[in-house]
Amino acid sequence: MRGIHSVFRPAAGLAMLASLVLGACVAYPTITPQGAVQQAASQLQDAQRHYVADYDPESLKQARTKLTDARKALAANQAQRTLDFAQEAKLSVQLGTIRAALARDTANREKVQRQIDAMKQLAGETQ
């Protein structure tokens, strides 16, 4: 009985520690530096293809710079720096995309406003 207790409690502590460590590991998703750079490049390419640069050129320019830095860090085997730069590039692309959507909606709103004004004017003239 005494022997069982002498083994059980330390084992319970270690088991608890192991489960906590595993839980901590789950909270941090893993992505390779190469994968991160590829993701960022793909998102930047999508944004360029859809003319986001016409609305927010600064964000895409910044994204390109960060992506270049990520590639350099990847070539230098600096994993953390690669991940950091790739994340920065993705955030810049995301911001540029949202701003482009905002500019598009603003333009559409102004177009509809012009149409309303034109319809009012034309309707007024034909009365």
Partner 1 sequence: MTRCTRPCVAVLAVSCAATVFMLSGCATASRWVGITQPDPLAAKAAAQLATLQADPQVAQLAPQALLDAVDAVHDAQHPSDGKEHAHHLAFVAEKRVQIARAITDLKTQHAAYEALLAQRNAMGGGDASITTLAQAMPAPASAPESAPTPVQSPPSATTSPAESAPVPERTPPMRPVAPSIEVAPSPPIAASATGAQAASPSAPIATVEPGNPASSAPAAAAGNGALMTFAATDFDAQGRLASAARDAMYDLLPKFVRAPKAKIVVSGANAAHVTVVRAQLQAFGVPPWRLAERHAGERVTIFMEGATPAP
CB of 127 to partner 1, least distance (A): 11
CB of 65 to partner 1, least distance (A): 12
CB neighbour class for 126 (10 Å; exposed up to 12, middle 13-18, buried from 19): exposed
CB of 110 to partner 1, least distance (A): 9
3-state secondary structure string across 54-117 = HHCHHHHHHHHHHHHHHHHHHHCCCHHHHHHHHHHHHHHHHHHHHHHHHHHHHHHHHHHHHHHH
- Whichever of 35 and 116 has its CB closer to partner 1, that residue is 116
CA nearest neighbour of 63 among 29, 20, 115, 100 = 100
- Using CB under 8 A, list all residues that contact partner 1: 2, 5-6, 9-10, 13-14, 16-17, 20-21, 24, 46-47, 49-52, 54-57, 80-81, 84-85, 87-88, 91-92, 94-95, 97-109, 111-123, 125-126
Tokens 């960060």 sit on residue: 66
CB of 39 to partner 1, least distance (A): 13
- Whichever of 31 and 101 has its CB closer to partner 1, that residue is 101
Extract the tokens encoding 101: 């959507």
